[in-house]
Structure 1
């Protein structure tokens, strides 16, 4: 691209930003995961054939969506979700246009009256042609939408990140975790010579009149994991020979520049990460498609088989790219295992966050495993339960002021650490495989993506162990406060008692080390939440010497309070400086 073209493109983007700020989202579009309508509950979403023309200079897209539904009950109408800021120019049912009086989309829940009722078992194709300026992300990926950026070399660099707001920011969909299409064909048209990596398998690319159309095909993608990524990308390619016998394609699309060596280093990490997940959890779920990563102008998101990566090749204090590893974990916990409702989001983020300490244990042993867990422990707030027991939206779960927020990550992770200690590695990892694959012995090609609820996982743990662990999850998931271990010396030794919210039962055994580091360790059964250890009068003791138990500890509460006060002071100082 010439210097003059770069300047013109940059100016056009700046003018577009100044004159066409995205409108506020409608209440329906702003939320994702609202209860589905009866019409949405009565269909199987068989196929989404999605066409997107991305016009960077106008910050505009033109969409053409053909959606195939199979009815499970008689239907007189179809309902899909689509941002009402888009202008809809044509709606078709089974290839025939319908009048404007047959469809409405006032608030973002588009209702289409069918020309004739559809019987159970029948199929229908809904086509929606639309265009407009998609919602611009204010702070992707947390406050999501489209990101219109410029690559260091001057070309347009575009990405979507819509987990928090939902698929209706991009295409007419069923904006709910259980709204996944069985198959998606994605056709992304971009100005040549830009590149558009996508979900699933690359089918082909056609170039005509200065435009390139990239065709991608994916099976069972999460609704928010269908992504648009456009840029002047270079591609690194390779393959991975799985321990399960299959060969998995690897690809990384990155911006060529002064960090080519770091890009190659990141790509070189993928085989090791794959070996970790396949050895600890099971087969990579999308081995017949690819492991894909794309560099993005936002921090990252777990887009299925095309993980968004924007961490600028930073390694954390443990010497690896934790964000890349975390987002990659969502191929198992998010894209293969999908939460049945946003209330079950800890299944994505809790398991996904536990994978970082577990990865360090795999790489280097127990010391860094426990150090990473300690980092997570210091971040807990314990203000709201991480599971409410009723349907939730994404906003209600991730909002730390009115919901669990980061606790779905770190409290979920630490609870899993305690569960692993309680039931043992064999039962623990078997429960994970059953949740992720529906099989204790998964094999490539013999499983499909699954919807899983919190109740489903509890039932799996109970089945694997042959015991009822509902009490364990009642305390950790459905209550905000952590259990507290109360220890009191008396004339005969040490009395222990679990103090729990609402006095719930919590018979978790407690290890007590008597004496120095080389002293005897006894396990106190804690039947009925109580136990006793015989101790000599002046004997030293250590509770939970191997740090197995997630419990209330005043030192962490003080650390969290101190961090909050420091943050508030820094924010106030920043505001004062701007006055």
Structure 2
């Protein structure tokens, strides 16, 4: 490809506009796309920061799971296709079309079930610019403090089709992606997986060659800047060595070194509590970006400014690293199960606080999360949804509750079934087995239904009533209290009168008793004048007058001029 030296005016955020099809990621899978197994994507992409453009050649190999007469591949129409070939044979211009962001390619012959087909797609143009990354998606074009180009991609919400031809649904993961990212002289392009080499072109441009196995669909990331890098090797408690890499802007070296010092203890936490780092044969990678953060597999985006936090560790770094287990190793097969990514990813921060500093830190961090639970929609609908239908409350989704409420559901489950059972459940849903070791597991898809089955398998008890209330209802269960004649009676009132026999701790004086709440009710003697605290250690997610009053106050005051 030829480098361009012309300079264009910066593209306005949110422009060029994208179609409804491009904005849609996930949901029901098109029957034609369901016929494809995505084997390999070879992506040669040139980033042109001065023009805010991309140029690409994507070579995509699929195996037909049923006879194929056409390929349907998601690609933003802002990146128009200029050439297509199938198995090395160029197609005429009338063989493909992309009116709405789903490229349709008419195959020159039927591809039989079990046979492979390779499409080579040449494309390029002006990609959609993110308005407020990472909460919406696209390219982020920026400058470093020294005025050099700084660019990054984010694609979780709208999907991978914003900058490369892909299957834009969670189970559309390619078996391998090879990346060849060409950038202007003096810039670097850290990306996913293993660096296979850097080629220097005659005019000084460089091409960065990467390879990654089984990447999450939205995890492929472009990052361009005059980066410097910190490098180390982590000796895992599982006996393997893991490369550690942090790419940062040169003017931010002091902060980068402080963050890099957090890599090893954070990894040790995850490996001791959950299990082996899933991509140890590739790397733990972090890159400084002009947006806050995103879980791009083995190259997590970080834009938190290396700031200090009251928790004593960088919660953005820790959260995005958590997604290597919960999101990249374990991927929800349907965005409706998104809480498994974000609930677990969020719960890891208070768990790390507890691991580092003890129960007080854990309790404080859990309380912060509790104050942000809104209960406007169930965490799980039981339907195939798009990412935006889950993430956006205006689309009827649970929104931020997949983080905060999801973490509290896990906290409550942990206290209900015990530490050993909870972390056994966690390992099984993440790795597909209870005994993960490097080399004996692969990235996998999971679901809420599987999670429920694993809880039943591990505990020997049916916790369907627990999930029916916490995941499939918006409202929280209410714990009603009635004290008379020396007896405190507790009754669970769950949404839609569902059964809810969750045990509850009660402190009477200095003594704490765990009430079984059989049938959703329980009673305990209370001497006259005794001080009583129900759920004294806040082990249970339940309706709270205090939280609801706080939310009403917030809403009233935010509406004032």
Tell me, yes or no, whether TM beats 0.5.
yes
SS at match of 1:203: strand
Which residue of structure 1 lines up, in the alignment, with residue 134 of structure 2?
141
Spell out the pairing of 1:314-329 with structure 2 (5 A cutoff).
314-329=307-322
1:283 equivalenced with 2:276 (yes/no): yes
- The DSSP-based 3-state class of the residue aligned with 1:434 is helix
Q: Is the 8 A contact 2:319 2:348 kept in 1?
A: yes
Q: Could you report, residue by residue, the CA deviation over 1:399-426 in whole angstroms, capped at 9, with x for unpaired residues?
A: 1233211100010001101100000011
Distance 1:457 1:522 in 2: 30
Residue 484 of structure 1: aligned partner: 478
After superposition, residues 172-571 of structure 1 pair within 5 angstroms as: 172-208=165-201, 209-257=203-251, 259-401=252-394, 402-515=396-509, 519-569=510-560
Indicate the larger mover: 182-191 or 20-29.
Answer: 20-29
Q: Return the TM-score normalized by structure 2.
A: 0.97
Rounded to whole Å, the distance in 1 between the matches of 2:133 and 2:422 is 35
The farther-off stretch of 21-30 and 261-270 is 21-30
Instruction: Please give the per-residue CA displacement for 1:305-364, whole angstroms capped at 9, x wherever unaligned.
Output: 000000001122222211110011000000000011111000000000000000000000
1:377/1:410 contact within 8 Å kept: yes
Deviations 1:431-480, CA, capped at 9 Å, x for gaps: 00000001111000111001101101111111111111111011001000
Deviations 1:262-311, CA, capped at 9 Å, x for gaps: 11010110001000000010000000000000000111100000000000
Structure 1 Cα separation of the partners of residues 526 and 134 of structure 2: 54
Equivalent position of 2:60 in the other structure: 67
**What is the deviation of 1:563?**
2.4
Which of 105, 108, 132 aligns to 1:112? It is 105
Give the 3-state SS of the residue equivalent to 1:471 in structure 2: helix
User: Is contact 1:51–1:187 with CA below 8 Å preserved after alignment?
Assistant: yes
Provide the C-alpha distance between the structure 1 equivalents of 2:374 and 2:72, rounded to a whole number of angstroms: 39
Q: Distance in 2 between matches of 1:568 and 1:319?
A: 34
Looking at structure 2, the residues matched to 417 and 62 of structure 1 have their Cα atoms a distance apart, in angstroms, of 47
SS of the residue 2:244 aligns to: strand
Which of 132, 136, 139 is equivalent to 2:125? 132
Match of 2:87 in 1: 94
The answer to whether the 8 A contact 1:315-1:322 is kept is no
Contact 1:357/1:369 (CA < 8 Å) preserved in 2? yes
In the TM superposition, what whole-angstrom CA distance separates every residue of 1:370-412 from its partner, at most 9, and x where no partner exists? 1000000000111110111101111111112332111000100
- Output the CA distance in 2 between the equivalents of 1:312 and 1:383: 32
CA contact (8 A) 1:282 1:433 kept: yes
After TM superposition, give the deviation of residue 76 of structure 1 in Å: 1.1
Task: Structure 1: state its 5+ residue gaps.
Answer: 1-8, 573-579
C-alpha displacement of 1:72 = 1.2
How far did 1:149 drift?
0.6
- TM-superposition CA deviations, 1:96-152 (whole Å, max 9, x none): 111122222111111111111111110000111001000001111112100111111
- Distance of 1:370 and 1:351 partners within structure 2: 17
CA–CA distance in 1 between the matches of 2:100 and 2:253? Answer: 46
SS in 2 for 1:390: coil
Aligned-residue offset at 1:492: 4.3
Q: Indicate the SS of the match to 1:58.
A: coil
CA RMSD of aligned residues (A): 1.4
Shift of 1:566: 3.2
Give, in whole Å, the separation in 2 of the partners of 1:287 and 1:465: 31
Distance in structure 1 (CA, Å) of the matches to 2:283 and 2:550 = 43
Partner of 1:3: none
CA distance in structure 2 between the aligned counterparts of 1:356 and 1:562, rounded to whole angstroms: 28
Distance 2:363 2:391 in 1: 26
Q: 2: CA distance between counterparts of 1:562 and 1:363?
A: 34
Q: 1:410 to 1:21 in 2, by over 3 A?
A: closer
CA–CA distance in structure 2, aligned partners of residues 113 and 447 of structure 1: 37
1:559 to partner: Cα distance? 1.4
Q: Secondary structure at the match of 1:225?
A: coil
The answer to whether the 8 A contact 1:493-1:537 is kept is no
Match of 1:575 in 2: none
Residue pair 2:333, 2:446 contacting (<8 A) in 1 also: yes
Distance 1:105 1:129 in 2: 13
The separation in 2 between residues aligned to 1:73 and 1:498, in whole angstroms, is 51
Q: Does the C-alpha gap of structure 1 residues 21 and 490 become closer, same or farther in structure 2, counting only changes over 3 Å?
A: closer
Matches of 1:233 and 1:314 in 2, distance apart? Answer: 19
2:37 & 2:350 partners in 1: Cα distance?
38
SS at match of 1:57: coil
Which consecutive unaligned segments of at least 5 residues does structure 2 have? none
The answer to whether the 8 A contact 2:427-2:434 is kept is: yes
Say which of 22, 27, 30 aligns to 1:34: 27
> 1 CA distance for matches of 2:440 and 2:43?
28
Query: For the residues of structure 2 that align with 1:90 and 1:155, how far apart are their CA atoms?
Result: 33
